[in-house]
Structure 1
Amino acid sequence: MRSADRKNQPILVLAKPALLAGALSIAACGGENTSSNVTSPGSEQTAKTKLLEGGASLLQDKAPLAALNAYLDGFHFYNGNMQGQMEAHHYCGHLNEDLIQCVIFDGNDADAKIMGIEYIVSAKLFAGLPAEEKHLWHSHVHEVRSGTLIAPGIPEVAERELMTKIAGTYGKTWHTWHTDRQHELPIGSPMLMMGFTADGQASEQMIADRDRRFRVSSKEIRERRADIPYPAIDPEADAWSKGIVMQLSVEPLSGGSKQGTPR
């Protein structure tokens, strides 16, 4: 395989070809059952806008979007505020074997809002980061082990292969549109998000609602994943659990700046 072809391998690369074919045939099982949290203000699309969109859809190449070829559903909370919990729909793709990038939505239907992004790195890449940087990242062991992170619509064997890989990775997540707070527009500062690390942290009702919509059981998934080989977690990850909490704040620059000159 040429390097250019290898670059856009699907995230399910660990699964056997037959399993991938099966996954594609039932992909619809994992879509359009969760609506966005908000309805944003604005006029309804005109016929002209719809026509422009339709033409762009047919004529433009969208290689970066096509590379987001796996769908993961899980939960996040605001760093420093565990009560601020929400479901997060991840659309992800490999950049290479050690780096995955995801766009996060607040739903999976056509009206879903882009909430943010998540970068996922292997333990190998994470080990090379400075400690201060590691404090911005969260582990994925509990998300996989608990059965709360799922890949809707793919065969169980393929999902297990995928989750075995994800369990050893680390994520850095920023939410830019806080629809869980009923913000109808993307206002406010981007917020650093974290993943749950122990039982009892995530709202049982939130998990139950998600399971009902997807017709899955996190409890049963947890039991099936019990024998996955879970790695040790880097002690610098999940820094919030050790009292190290960081968030962004937007402040005016003192004295201003010259046009076009970043400060």
Structure 2
Amino acid sequence: MNHKEKLLQVYKQATNAEDIKSEIPDTYKDFISKIANNCTRLKGVYTVLITLLVHKTLNPDQDIRFHQAQIGGFSGRNIDKQYITPTLQELGLPAMAESGWLTRSLEQPKPYTLDYPGKIGNKSVKEAFLNLIDWVQKNSDKAELVLRILLWQVIQNTNFTKIEITKIENNARLNIKLIVNSLEEHFNFNYKTHGASKLPVLAFYAIYQILIEEVERYKLCTLKKLASHTASDLTSRSAGDIEVFDENNKLFEAVEIKQGKKIDIQIIRIVKEKIVKYHPQRYCIII
């Protein structure tokens, strides 16, 4: 069984964890809750912890505090990149763009002991993270229980924040003014959570999905799948938020969404560099 298969197995069992909570001391249940409640704000910590827990269930004798080969351990980053993060993305759970080990506070070549020097932003989350690793290392038979409870709480948190979208059965009353006003209210509403800045990108992406099918200019063109909105341009290797490729798989058109921002010299400089690098026929900045 590989790491993906193990994660999926535990995920299927994580629909409920009330029956096993009594097997974990209260202190460590509180630590699990701390990680779960911050799984979207500190995805690196949560992703690394899941990787270590999965690896411990498969390799009980491995000291998971030694998360890098160069410090005498194993490559947690490779396991995460190959198995964990892609699986979390498939499950619709909070996930990094590539790996939790790309977070500077977690990539240091030091073991995750209680005195680990990495500057994780939230001190209480750092305490929970390191103490859970320490406890699981000393109680390897509890690794799967901790993983199941963590996933159960993350699933609960994720479901709580989901918004049900009601399909419009009758669009006869829709008009351009109503749609524009609705989008503006949607974009500018304070949802008090991360990710709201991606809303304009999703709206324009939906528009481009229609343009690709109906406008002659885009005949034989394809729309690239949206990349992570939090990934840097260097990491995502993209020319913009939205990219259209021609029949030869060459960049045809790129769109950068800067909702609520003024176009300044810095934005122009970055766009110029992208145009020189990727050579699109058209580049749009939408504010």
TM (normalized to structure 2)? Answer: 0.22
- When you count strand as a share of all residues, which structure comes out higher? 1
Of structures 1 and 2, the one with the larger relative CO (CA 8 A, separation 6+) is 1
Higher radius of gyration, 1 or 2: 2
